[in-house]
């Protein structure tokens, strides 16, 4: 079975969140990213693979090096994931307000 | 348009805060949280039990139009101070989210406006994030159910 990768699974891990933070300002190679962590290089590679698979990171070939950079489109999806939860409460509270406004005038 | 309901869910924290200001006097806002028939209307669920007092319990249940129970939640009150605050536990039955501790505070802004803030504490960051994602995952399904509920009430 192929495990479906989604952005939320990707950002659930603290190391992966740290990687995303790192590449926010500029694209970096795997080696440079790994140098920022105490974790073993293969572990960092695995994280990079997951982040790439779920499209939060994009690879860019520059000469012999592969650079990783943030995919802002996908990050927007992450920023928005809370919206349906907020909307659920917005709907409830708006209903509450309407009900109680009628209640008041009764 | 400014968002009336705000969610503050800091990354890496196991709690979230929901706040909302209402064009309602404090007393009416509070009443909407304690009168079972009113709670049923805006929460879109059936209230099986709502003992508004310290050590009292509560239980909500939602069924689909075929009568199958799709949601059931329960908890107990630890603090119940009218027009000020309710401290209670919240547990969704048959769901992997565990128990949450909720601090609901009511605040008077003016004679005709008020504010509620709900702080929900989860056992872990992961559980909180799962809960936040639930409506996202349910997406269309939820909207559809809401429509059915509302349509059902109009009949």
How many residues comprise chain B?
155
What CATH code is carried by the domain that includes residue A65? 1.10.10.10
Ramachandran class of B102: left when φ > 0, alpha when ψ lies in -120 to 50, beta otherwise: beta
The complex's ipTM? Answer: 0.82
Q: Which of A44, A59, A57, A51 is nearest to A6 (CA)?
A: A51
Domain that holds residue A67: 7-78
Whole-number pLDDT of residue A79: 64
Q: Is residue A106 part of a domain?
A: no
Which residues of chain B does A96 touch, with a Cβ-Cβ cutoff of 8 Å? Answer: 22, 29, 32, 38, 42
Residues of chain B with pLDDT under 70: 1-2, 136-155
A-B CB pairs within 8 A amount to 82
pTM of this structure: 0.64
Per the structure, the count of domains in chain A is: 1
Q: Is residue A60 part of a domain?
A: yes
Q: Is residue A90 part of a domain?
A: no
Region A81-93 average pLDDT: 84
Judge whether residue A2 has pLDDT over 50. Answer: no
Q: Is residue A57 part of a domain?
A: yes
Q: Any chain A CB within 8 A of the CB of B37?
A: no
- B43 near B18, Cβ under 8 Å? no
Whole-number pLDDT of residue A67: 96
Structural domains present in chain B:
15-154 (3.30.530.20)
Q: How far apart are CA A59 and CA A37, in angstroms?
A: 20
Maximum Cα–Cα distance for chain B, whole Å?
A: 45
How do residues B76-121 score in pLDDT, each as one tens digit? 999 999 999 999 999 999 888 899 999 999 999 999 999 999 999 9
How do residues A33-76 score in pLDDT, each as one tens digit? 999 999 899 999 999 999 999 889 999 999 999 999 998 888 77
Q: Which of A78, A69, A102, A62 is nearest to A8 (CA)?
A: A78
Q: Is residue A85 part of a domain?
A: no
Say yes or no for a CB contact (<8 Å) between B38 and A89.
no
Collapse the DSSP code of A61 into the 3-class scheme (helix H, G, I; strand E, B; otherwise coil) and give the result. strand
More confident residue, A45 or A14: A45
Q: Is residue A89 part of a domain?
A: no
């Amino acid at each position: 079975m192929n495990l479906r990768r989604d952005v939320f699974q990707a950002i659930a891990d603290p190391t992966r969140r740290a990687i995303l933070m790192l590449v926010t300002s500029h694209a970096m190679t795997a080696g440079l990213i790994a140098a920022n962590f105490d974790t073993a290089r293969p572990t960092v590679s695995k994280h990079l693979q997951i982040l790439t698979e779920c499209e939060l990171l994009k690879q860019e070939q520059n000469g012999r090096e592969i650079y990783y950079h943030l995919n802002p489109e996908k990050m927007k999806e992450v920023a928005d994931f809370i919206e349906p939860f907020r909307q659920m409460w917005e709907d409830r509270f708006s209903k509450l307000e309407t009900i109680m406004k009628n209640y008041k005038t009764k | 348009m400014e968002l009336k309901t705000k969610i503050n869910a800091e990354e890496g924290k196991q709690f979230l805060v929901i706040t909302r200001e209402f064009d309602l006097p404090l007393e009416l806002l509070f009443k909407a949280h304690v009168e079972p028939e009113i709670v049923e209307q805006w929460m879109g669920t059936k209230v099986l039990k709502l003992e508004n007092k310290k050590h009292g319990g509560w239980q909500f249940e939602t069924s689909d139009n075929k009568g199958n129970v799709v949601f059931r939640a329960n908890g107990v009150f630890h603090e119940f101070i009218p027009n000020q605050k309710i401290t209670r536990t919240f547990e969704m039955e048959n769901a992997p989210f565990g128990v949450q501790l909720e601090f609901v505070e009511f605040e008077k802004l003016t004679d005709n406006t008020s504010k509620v803030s709900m702080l929900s504490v989860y056992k872990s960051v992961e559980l909180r994030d799962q809960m936040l994602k639930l409506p996202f995952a349910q997406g269309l399904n939820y909207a559809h159910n809401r429509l059915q509920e509302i349509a059902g009430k109009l009949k």
